[in-house]
Amino acid sequence: MKNYKITLIKGDGIGPEIIDEAVKVLDAVASLCDFHFNYDEALMGGVAYDITGDPLPQETITKSLQSDAVLFGAIGGPKWDDLPREKRPESGLLRFRKELGVYANLRPAVVYDELINASSLKPEIIKGVDIMVVRELIGGIYFGEPKGRTDEKGWNTMVYTRDEIVRIAHQAFRIAQKRDKRVCSIDKANVLDVSQLWRDVVTEVSAEYPDVELTHMYVDNAAMQLVLNPKQFDVMLTGNIFGDILSDEASMLCGSIGLLPSASVGEKIGVYEPIHGSAPDIAGQGIANPIATIASASMMLRYALGEVEAADKVDAAIKKTLSEGYRTGDLAQFDAKEVCSTSEIGSIIANYIEK
């Protein structure tokens, strides 16, 4: 029997609740597919600061790099907003990504037919939407130097090197080859020199993928086109800050941010997490939607472990749960047969895992 070592970082807010449900589903599918998980918990975020004085203890980095994959919940909350910036949970997360070298953030936005009425857009606009946003994760304005502030001025620098652009572009083109073979690269090359370099380098890399169609779009137009005609997109390739914004916009095509997973991958390790935050206002109430985290666990099975059959089983169980009318409270108004707690939805999905 194969054994996989998974680092669990539950984090803050609803993080522990949603990770527990993903583990429940992972254990169910592992028992059917003849492999086993060994879980090792690690701290990051506000809870890590409270215990160790550091939002990212070195032990967490070490454990993560020694595992086969990392399953991560969410971090942050108002409790820690007044800390010095370097002590805030979000600073720990940025440092975590950099330390692990996870430079490519993969965020699928897929509209479930069962929840087509959950979107604010008309069904004919969103039916069949299946987008993969490929966001560069450890460069750009969030990491560029110089940066700083005075009482009168604040500044950040958007920086990309050729090598950083090349490696994320290859990710996007390789993913597109397994999909509909279309990449739309998003930039602001009409204004920003860094975006012109991005556009030039992506175009150069595209020559290695003659089977993939490449187009370019300015980020402001892309934001509009996502709402106007989202089905025109297959793979959207973009930098850190633009990808941060556009992937959240794409998520709302699907009706709830509680549905969508993500993967952050690099040369050494992958981190799998829901795209939503820690939602401290609902933590501990048993009403959080764990589906995004369970779907992230499916991405972990598929991309990190190569357990494609197991990933397909999890995806099918999620879809069956939704088609049978089981909903958490955030989706209760959309054809709900039964409104379920966080734990109940996790159990239903786990029980729908089939041979």
CATH of the domain at 200: 3.40.718.10
- What one-letter code names the amino acid at 226? L
Q: What is the distance between the alpha carbons of residues 67 and 38, in angstroms, rounded to a whole number?
A: 10
Look at 14 and 119; give whichever has higher pLDDT: 14
pLDDT, one tens digit per residue, over 189-236 is 999 999 999 999 999 999 999 999 999 999 999 999 999 999 999 999
Whether 38 maps to a domain, the answer reads yes
Domain count for the chain, please give it: 2
When the pLDDT of each residue in the chain is averaged and rounded to a whole number, the result is 95
Show which residues are catalytic.
142, 188, 220, 244, 248
Q: Residue 154: which H helix or E strand, with range?
A: strand 154-155
pLDDT at 354: 82
Whether 124 maps to a domain, the answer reads no
- Are 137 and 238 in the same domain? yes
Is the pLDDT at 13 greater than 90? The verdict is: yes
pTM for the whole thing?
0.88
Find the mean pLDDT for residues 302-331.
94
Whether 115 maps to a domain, the answer reads no
What's phi and psi for 185, nearest 5 deg? -90, 130
- Are 244 and 268 in the same domain? no
DSSP letters along 44-74, please? -SHHHHHHHS-SS-HHHHHHHHTSSEEEEEE
Is the pLDDT at 267 greater than 80? The verdict is: yes
- Are 246 and 285 in the same domain? no
Whether 80 maps to a domain, the answer reads yes
Cβ(22)–Cβ(294) under 8 Å? yes
- Residue 101 lies in domain: 1-105+257-355
Whether 202 maps to a domain, the answer reads yes
Lowest-pLDDT range of 8-17, 110-119, 123-132 = 110-119
Residue after which a domain boundary falls, among 202, 235, 253:
253
- Are 271 and 355 in the same domain? yes
- Are 311 and 266 in the same domain? yes
Is the pLDDT at 255 greater than 80? The verdict is: no
Q: Residue 141: which H helix or E strand, with range?
A: none
Whether 163 maps to a domain, the answer reads yes
pLDDT at 259: 87
Q: What is the distance between the alpha carbons of residues 47 and 14, in angstroms, rounded to a whole number?
A: 12
pLDDT, one tens digit per residue, over 141-155 is 999 999 999 999 999
Q: What is the distance between the alpha carbons of residues 347 and 352, in angstroms, rounded to a whole number?
A: 9
Find the mean pLDDT for residues 38-65.
98
Q: What is the distance between the alpha carbons of residues 266 and 75, in angstroms, rounded to a whole number?
A: 21
Q: What percent of the chain clears pLDDT 90, i.e. is strictly above it?
A: 88
Q: Residue 313 has which token pair?
A: 């089983």
pLDDT, one tens digit per residue, over 82-106 is 999 999 999 999 999 999 999 999 9
pLDDT at 355: 61
pLDDT at 112: 87
